[in-house]
Amino acid sequence: NAGVTQTPKFQVLKTGQSMTLQCAQDMNHEYMSWYRQDPGMGLRLIHYSVGAGITDQGEVPNGYNVSRSTTEDFPLRLLSAAPSQTSVYFCASSYSRFGTDTQYFGPGTRLTVL
Amino acid sequence: AQSVSQHNHHVILSEAASLELGCNYSYGGTVNLFWYVQYPGQHLQLLLKYFSGDPLVKGIKGFEAEFIKSKFSFNLRKPSVQWSDTAEYFCAVNAKSNYQLIWGAGTKLIIKP
């Protein structure tokens, strides 16, 4: 099993550009989520999904869109990149949405917006 | 709103020293508690978790954590650290009524050989 994979590993964007961060998992997990990690702060939840076709906003959703057309994939779209979106982005999945489940993380995408 | 506080952002220890990393949370209800670790160049992974039962939980690589409900704390301990424990450690909490994890800012641990 590859676990949770993310692409790209690094990305530099100019302000106003759009892009999609890819996330895939091969564990048949129901729950998937996107976090951002900024220096001196914990991970903050951007969006999450409890199954194919179901998504919801987390703590910091503005400027990001998600969709979940399959169980495996959960892409994160930046609509119009801003310097405030410079961050490290992590995708995670777990078997269910119940709070006791272990989350499995991807390697992260380091995004810089100039 | 829930929050999680990790007391130390950076900790430097020598090999064989004892380790205790603090974690406090603010939430009055029943919680699930986690410690995750990110070794250099690796994915975040679960170290240990508590959701019920014995408040002293044991995790991988000799780590343990104790849930003290009256202090809203879930401190991570290891009696004797190794150079390979160099990593960033994150405490996370969710309320049993809400599956969204709230994360601490992390503690970077450096072990000097």
pLDDT digits (tens, 9 = 90+) for A79-105: 999 999 999 999 999 998 777 889 999
Please give the pLDDT value at position A29: 94
Chain B CB contacts of A10 below 8 Å: none
List Cα–Cα distances, B110 to B15, B87, B107, in angstroms. 10, 7, 10
User: Taking CB atoms and an 8 Å limit, are B51 and A99 in contact across chains?
Assistant: yes
- Contact between B21 and B5 under an 8 Å Cβ cutoff? The reply is no
Q: Flag if A99 and B98 touch (Cβ within 8 Å).
A: yes
Q: Which residues of A touch B45 (CB under 8 A)?
A: 104-105
Per-residue model confidence (pLDDT) at position B7: 86
Mean pLDDT of B75-98: 92
Q: Does the distance separating the beta carbons of B100 and A58 come in below 8 Å? A: yes
d(C-alpha A37, C-alpha A61), whole Å: 14
- Closest to B27 (Cα-Cα) out of B111, B107, B94, B99: B94
Kindly state the tokens that stand for A16: 């106003």
Query: What pLDDT digit, counting tens, does each position of A32-41 carry?
Result: 999 999 988 8
pLDDT digit string, tens, across residues A12-32: 999 999 999 999 999 999 999
What DSSP assignment string belongs to B8-26?
-SEEEEETT--EEE-EEEE
